[in-house]
Amino acid sequence: MNINDLFKTPKLPMGSNKRRMPDMPTPEMLKKMKMDVDSEPSVDAPSTSARNGASARAATVEDADEDMDQDFAPGGDADYFAEEDEEGRFYGGGLSREQKDILNIFDKDVTEGAVEDLEDMNLPAVRRVLLRFERAEKKNQDQRSKYPDDPTKFIDSEADLDLALKGLIPLAQAPVVAYPELVSSGAVARLIGLLSHENPDIVIDVVEVIHELTDEDVGNGGEGEEEEEGKREEALKVLMEGLLENSILELLVDNLKRLNEAEESDRQGVFHILAIFENFIGFNAELSPLLISKTTIVTWLLTRIQTKEYDDNRGYAAELLSIALQNNRENRLALGRQEGVEIMLKVLSQYRRRDPVDADETEFMENVFDTLCSALGEEENKKLFLDSEGIDLMVLMLKEKKQSRSRSIKVLDHAMSGPAGTACCETFVEALGLKNLFSTFMSKGSKKNKTQNEDISHTLGIVSSLFSNLASDSPARIRLLTKFVENTYEKVDKLLEIRDSAQGRLKEVEEEIETEKKELAAEGEQIEAGMDDLWYLRRLEGGLFTLQTVDYILAWVAMEDDGILSHVQQMMGRRDRSLKDIVKTLQVYRDNVDENPSAKDSDEPTQKEILQHLIDFLDGC
């Protein structure tokens, strides 16, 4: 082989006669042409073969026919036609040699060390992955420091860093081994430092890695032993503590403002950041107030849910708000201070006259409603809700036969409950809410479903709050009582129907509990402390809560109107029941009421005192 002859052969000019691969070549076309991408044609050495085995002489159509079964595919690719289907359509190949070389180099880099074999993810393998990441990070930092104004100088190191970051993702499959090493080696601090990197793509890589590492299912390839589960949780705790020590929450919120969701990659980055917050709160609910108090996440979330067009990140923002406000007073007050109540009312107003377009938007709407209900658990937010005309908006939703109607009943129940809901109760009656509420209460659906049962439950809660909060002999209270008198006590009859249904469900639960008690006694086991409380909660869920609310309302209307009292006695007598049954229910209710400590300092009667007053009246009938 004459090397000199090869190098002195001039290249052909790029003229119009040069053949080019069409965008979508067919097998028939490929059979009629000889690809010349593997080597340049040689005039002096027509029979010389290149190192890769491709022919170096000029190709002809005749040669193509003769060499059909030989190495004629681009790049010497033996699998060039492997993906051809029965109809002759071509899906694979079609790459120049330069393109295939790039892909081969990339595949080689990945397989030669970027990602370790998960089966061999022991401590030495973890350390190799972390060392590769450390070297790539340091090299990129050095190159950027030396050539800050010349990207061509550090672009290669940036690509290496990108690959090294992706190599960290498999560590999530071996948290017990990898996570303590991540923290002790300083890799966590180095990883968090990259959240301030000048290249947003690197930041997005980091966010994706942290999302994978903090997922609740890390290292859970199947059903493991409890001991292994405990080890995984402990390793995840070590990692999260290391992340928190490096101010991860603040840095992630800063990057939410930095990313531009008009770009697909940035939009995915935002999604991963929100998922990280959910991972942290899901692992430890006590981190929720830390996230809200130490960052400006509430402001960002409230701004995000106000965007007009629905997308996944808007829905995720609403879900995260709902999660953060569950059972946390400080977070609820923080939402109120950020004008969150008014913002949510503004967002929900769009569903007054229209339903969500699909299931995803329905979930978004429900999350906003749930967030509002959580916020209304605080007295301060009830005042903000009233000032923002929230009662009026909910009453308007009651009138419309849209999906928002059921959710508006739930919001009203939360807003009007407790002594702090008195002003909301008065405004509700003034806004003509009684007519629409009882219209929903008396409606007969085609079949009872979960939504209808929830509507009834929240409607009973609203009526109960009205009787508790509206002043005696006030116009609003008289209007409420009139509703139970009109149409020959039809609403009282409806209450008795609901009572029968609740009693039936409760009876089944009572039988189950009695069976469990007998089994424990037969086995000689004592009832553990706290079991009575658990059984009481089961009774509440099994119909006792509904029964208590119905009997509370019945006691009120019977006490305030003699006609209703006679009607209740008559209808219960037909069921072999009496007012004594209502008294028993109210006594259980009274004995399990948790009084608000602040209620003792108020001049208003407590819930226990009200219940005792009703019991005394019924006992005297």
Question: For 52-61, how does the pLDDT look when each residue is reduced to its tens digit (9 = 90+)?
Answer: 333 333 444 4
Pairwise CA distance, residues 104 & 75, whole Å: 11
52 CB-side CA count, 13 A: 17
pLDDT of residue 36: 40
The residue-averaged pLDDT of 588-610 equals 79
Confidence at 315, pLDDT banded by 50, 70, 90: very high
Reference 244, options 205, 286, 208; nearest CA is 286
pLDDT of residue 91: 38
DSSP 526: P
Reference 306, options 278, 280, 338; nearest CA is 338
pLDDT tens-digit readout, 493-531: 999 999 999 999 999 999 999 998 888 888 877 777 788
The residue-averaged pLDDT of 463-492 equals 95
pLDDT tens-digit readout, 206-259: 999 999 999 988 866 544 566 778 888 999 999 999 999 999 999 999 999 999
pLDDT of residue 65: 44
Please check the confidence at residue 35 and state whether its pLDDT lies above 90: no
pLDDT of residue 341: 97
Pairwise CA distance, residues 167 & 173, whole Å: 12
Q: Where are the domains of the chain?
A: 1-104, 115-246, 285-470, 482-512+528-594+604-619
Confidence at 445, pLDDT banded by 50, 70, 90: low
Confidence at 92, pLDDT banded by 50, 70, 90: very low
pLDDT of residue 96: 57
Q: How far is CA 59 from CA 32, 44, 560, in A?
A: 11, 15, 106
Question: Phi-psi region for residue 526, left (φ > 0), alpha (ψ -120 to 50) or beta?
Answer: beta
**CB-CB contact of 376 with 338 (8 Å):** no
Pairwise CA distance, residues 321 & 368, whole Å: 8
**CB-CB contact of 266 with 204 (8 Å):** yes
Please check the confidence at residue 99 and state whether its pLDDT lies above 60: no
Q: Is the CATH number 1.25.10.10 carried by domain 285-470? A: yes
pLDDT of residue 11: 43
Pairwise pLDDT comparison (230 vs 427), residue with the higher score? 427
Pairwise pLDDT comparison (5 vs 347), residue with the higher score? 347
**CB-CB contact of 249 with 294 (8 Å):** yes
pLDDT tens-digit readout, 157-190: 999 999 999 999 999 999 999 999 999 999 999 9
303: helix, strand or coil: helix
- Pair of tokens at residue 432: 């003509």
Pairwise pLDDT comparison (270 vs 605), residue with the higher score? 270
Pairwise CA distance, residues 161 & 167, whole Å: 10
In percent, the amount of the chain with pLDDT more than 70 equals: 77
Please check the confidence at residue 44 and state whether its pLDDT lies above 80: no
Please check the confidence at residue 290 and state whether its pLDDT lies above 90: yes
Please, is 279 exposed, middle or buried when counting C-beta atoms within 10 Å of its C-beta (0-12, 13-18, 19+)? buried
pLDDT tens-digit readout, 543-579: 999 999 999 999 999 999 999 999 999 999 999 999 9
55: helix, strand or coil: strand
Reference 201, options 243, 167, 165; nearest CA is 165
Average pLDDT, the chain: 82
**CB-CB contact of 291 with 281 (8 Å):** yes
Confidence at 279, pLDDT banded by 50, 70, 90: very high
The reply to whether the predicted model has a pTM over 0.85 is no
The length of the chain in residues reads 621
Pairwise CA distance, residues 614 & 46, whole Å: 111
- Pair of tokens at residue 326: 């569950």
For residue 214, count other CB atoms closer than 10 A to its CB. Answer: 24
- Pair of tokens at residue 136: 């790539």
pLDDT of residue 600: 56
**CB-CB contact of 564 with 523 (8 Å):** no
pLDDT of residue 274: 97
pLDDT of residue 95: 53
pLDDT of residue 210: 97
126 CB-side CA count, 13 A: 19
- Pair of tokens at residue 386: 């009233």
Please check the confidence at residue 16 and state whether its pLDDT lies above 70: no
